[in-house]
A and B are shown apart, each in its own frame.
Chain A
């Protein structure tokens, strides 16, 4: 996928060439947003729950090193082997070495956005290890050789007919069968064989409890459990920010997580892994990968509160109409747009601009991350750090000069109106992006300033 050369606007424009598909994508995700609203409105204390979750996460970030040490000690006491990875490469190496040690060359993996962020599958495949993703949506995009387009609904960009075609090609289903029930059953049989034959299973982590050393994995399919409970070695990968202080805090997060994500009251499975099964090895990898850098950015640190529910994606009018792949990063949408520049400002300089700053994301966020304010602040940082094109810079400087000097503004206004020249919506040029699909405002006989001069000023 050579998406890196194109920015969000270009990728979104390509996505918008098929308007019927955009409508379908938008409606599907809007439906998920509506389910979220319905679930939230059934909980009268919803806003207080969000506030509590937010404060717990604030406390976590402010005391993270101590919680990590506490968690590690508890997990070790429980018989779990704890590893630390400073970056994606070290994480991938740890996974690889664990597999090599056991002579394993095939692994089953349940959903973990962290492993997407670390590009684990590519790494392992280059080292001769086959990884099968067991979440149905992730398996589908894996067969299509694509990354997930959504962190909760990985193949939400795919139509069932396309999935039917993929299954026909890879799993031998009859051509033309696109029935979700049938396709899911096919995947069930195919993946059951995988679960039964893989000796290593990797899972993500939703929450890790400092107090007890246990970690919680939430799925609807049961794929994390199927993998972990049948494998000889269970590897769980988590970002260091996934810690919460105490077990009882799960009550707050589990009430919020799935209601925010899909509108369900809870996922089918909320599995608490504390000790390895007898005869099994359990490994846990704590990954930094620049989270500590983000922690040091005062304006952006609270993006680390994210619990990966994807509510901000489902509500985002831009995400719904541009698709997850247009964000060209593992975590798409509004939250991805404030996380990605921390990883690589140059590569992801476009993402904070892929928003109208409407603010809906911040309102649905179950841990109250001020996402749209951070998008605004990233724009300021990216401009100052020099990641925004020079032409834009010159235009802005000219605009600033004019708008901060009234004389210039009025003169410019008289000669064909200053705004005509600089306001993006007003350039009378068919190449102007405004004019492509929109008429320009009809120029009035006189400006308000001129009208006021004639009609009011004499009285003053």
Chain B
């Protein structure tokens, strides 16, 4: 099995640690991982701003880079959801559909495809889990509080395998952080207020780290935490799952 690793553009540029952890974690689990060097972006920033019609170049590039792999794995629920729902190609419809089917967000790839049951991971901190909306409500990584359905959580399933990690409870376990792509600048006031409120929930419950499966939400919250001079940090879930005892 060869997995094509899709690293979101901003993660590549700003959060290489999350990308490295994703790669190392997959390799540790015996997966053969390839990283096509020509990749750029899923096209979501344009599409969510109403410019989906300009994203064909991104679609074509993804198809060209990734259609050949057995699976495509990406450490961002938001990018995965976007590709899953919107990738299309008039020239290569079959390949476009195959990309849509075989792309997985990292967490769901670990729980659903690799069916990971234990991890050699160690993270002795109090951690708050941020449910990023596109991963949760879009990819259904966890049950949503709005629905009258049985509870489950794929991120928690994995985090529970990490030694000495303590999950803190939250008052609002799946409220949006307010990042929202270009929303974060177009609606700056509300975006920041949402972020502050999310952070306050984590901090008041003693979180030393806020983690999640989407770096964009974490980047937004990190921006506010650092401005506040808070001691609480953000960390991508891959970095926790890949953290070994030193």
- Residue among B146, B181, B190 with max Cβ neighbours from chain A (10 Å): B190
Q: How far is the CA of A405 from the CA of B38 in the complex (A)?
A: 8
Closest beta carbon of chain A to B179's beta carbon, Å: 7
Q: Does B184 interact with chain A (Cβ within 8 Å)?
A: yes
Name the one of B46, B185, B192 contacting A396, with C-beta atoms under 8 angstroms. B46
B98 touches A (CB below 8 Å): no
| A441-B223 in contact given A399-B45, A419-B9, A448-B7 (Cβ < 8 Å) | yes
Q: Mark out the residues of chain B between 12 and 35 whose CB falls within 8 Å of any chain A CB in the assembled complex.
A: 12-17, 19-20, 23, 34-35
B192 near A437 with CB under 8 A, answer yes
Write out the residue numbers on chain A whose beta carbons fall within 8 Å of the beta carbon of B7. Answer: 448-449
- Asked if B61 is at the interface of the complex by the 8 Å CB criterion, the answer is yes
Interface residue stretch chosen among A85-93, A144-152, A276-284, A377-385: A377-385
Given contacts A403-B57, A438-B220, are A359 and B14 in contact (CB under 8 A)? no
Interface presence of A47 (CB below 8 A): yes
Q: State in angstroms the CA–CA spacing of A458 and B23 once bound together.
A: 16
Say yes or no: A437-B188 contact (C-beta < 8 A), given A37-B145, A40-B148.
yes
Q: Looking at the assembled complex, report how far the CB atom of B212 sits from the nearest CB atom of chain A, in whole angstroms.
A: 14
Interface residues in B33-66 (C-beta closer than 8 Å to A): 34-35, 37-41, 43, 45-58, 60-61
CA distance A449 to B8 in the complex (A): 11
CA distance A279 to B79 in the complex (A): 65
Q: A8: CB under 8 A from chain B?
A: yes
Cβ of B239 < 8 Å from any Cβ of A? no
A383-B188 contact in complex given A356-B179, A438-B227, A443-B14, C-beta closer than 8 Å: no
**What class of interface size applies to chain B in its complex with A?**
35 or more
Chain A contacts for B56, CB-based, 8 A: 404
How far does the Cβ of A36 sit from chain B's closest Cβ, in whole Å?
9
- Tell me, rounded to whole Å, the shortest Cβ–Cβ distance linking B188 to chain A: 4
Known: A379-B49, A396-B49. A432 touches B185 (CB 8 A): yes
Residues of B within 8 A of A354 (CB): 187, 190
Q: Does B126 sit within 8 A of A, measured CB to CB?
A: no
- Residue A360 interfacial (CB < 8 Å): yes
Known: A363-B137, A384-B53, A409-B40. A356 touches B223 (CB 8 A): no
Q: Which of B88-96, B99-107, B152-160, B170-178 contacts A (4 or more CB under 8 A)?
A: B170-178
Q: Are A434 and B223 in contact (CB under 8 A)?
A: yes
Shortest distance from the beta carbon of B73 to any chain A beta carbon, whole Å = 14
User: What B residues does A423 contact at CB under 8 A?
Assistant: 9-10, 45
Q: How far is the CA of A405 from the CA of B40 in the complex (A)?
A: 8
A41 contacts the other chain (CB 8 A): yes
Bound CA span A404–B40, Å: 7
Answer yes or no: B226 CB below 8 A from chain A CBs.
yes
Known: A364-B146, A403-B57. A448 touches B187 (CB 8 A): no
Q: A439: CB under 8 A from chain B?
A: yes
The reply on B222 being an interface residue by CB < 8 A is yes
Interface centre among B14, B17, B41, B56 (most CB of A within 10 A): B14
- From B54, B60, B178, B219, A317 is in contact (CB under 8 Å) with B178
- Nearest CB of chain A from residue B18's CB, rounded to whole Å: 8
B182 is an interface residue with CB less than 8 A from chain A: yes
Q: Is A228 an interface residue (CB 8 A)?
A: no
Query: Which of A9-17, A62-70, A208-216 touches B?
Result: A9-17
Q: Does A447 contact B (CB under 8 A)?
A: yes
The answer to whether B14 touches A456, judged by C-beta atoms less than 8 angstroms apart, is no
- Please tell me if the beta carbons of B185 and A321 are within 8 angstroms of each other in the complex: no
Max chain B C-beta neighbours (<10 A), residue from A44, A353, A356, A452: A356
Q: Are B227 and A437 closer than 8 Å at their CB atoms?
A: yes
Contacting pair B57 A444 (CB below 8 A): no
The answer, yes or no, to whether A252 is at the interface (CB within 8 Å) is: no
Hey, which chain B residues are within 8 Å of A247, CB to CB? none
Q: Is A19 an interface residue (CB 8 A)?
A: yes
For A44, give the chain B residue with the smallest CB separation: B148
Residues of A within 8 A of B147 (CB): 47, 363
Instruction: Please give me the residue from chain A that is nearest to B55 by CB atom.
Output: A400
Q: 29 A–B contact pairs at CB < 8 A? A: A19-B193, A30-B172, A47-B147, A47-B149, A317-B178, A355-B180, A356-B176, A356-B178, A356-B180, A357-B181, A359-B138, A360-B137, A376-B47, A400-B46, A400-B57, A403-B40, A403-B57, A404-B58, A423-B45, A425-B223, A426-B10, A426-B14, A432-B185, A439-B227, A441-B15, A441-B219, A444-B17, A448-B7, A448-B11
Task: List 5 additional A-B contacts (Cβ < 8 Å) besides A409-B40, A424-B182.
Answer: A359-B133, A380-B53, A383-B51, A401-B57, A417-B13
Residues of A at the B interface (CB closer than 8 Å) are: 8-9, 12-13, 15-16, 19, 22, 26, 30, 37, 40-41, 43-44, 46-47, 315, 317-318, 321-322, 353-360, 362-364, 376, 379-380, 382-384, 388, 392-393, 396-397, 399-406, 409, 413, 417-420, 423-426, 432-434, 436-444, 446-453, 456-457, 460
Give the 4 A-B CB pairs with smallest separation, nearest first.
A404-B57, A356-B180, A438-B223, A383-B50
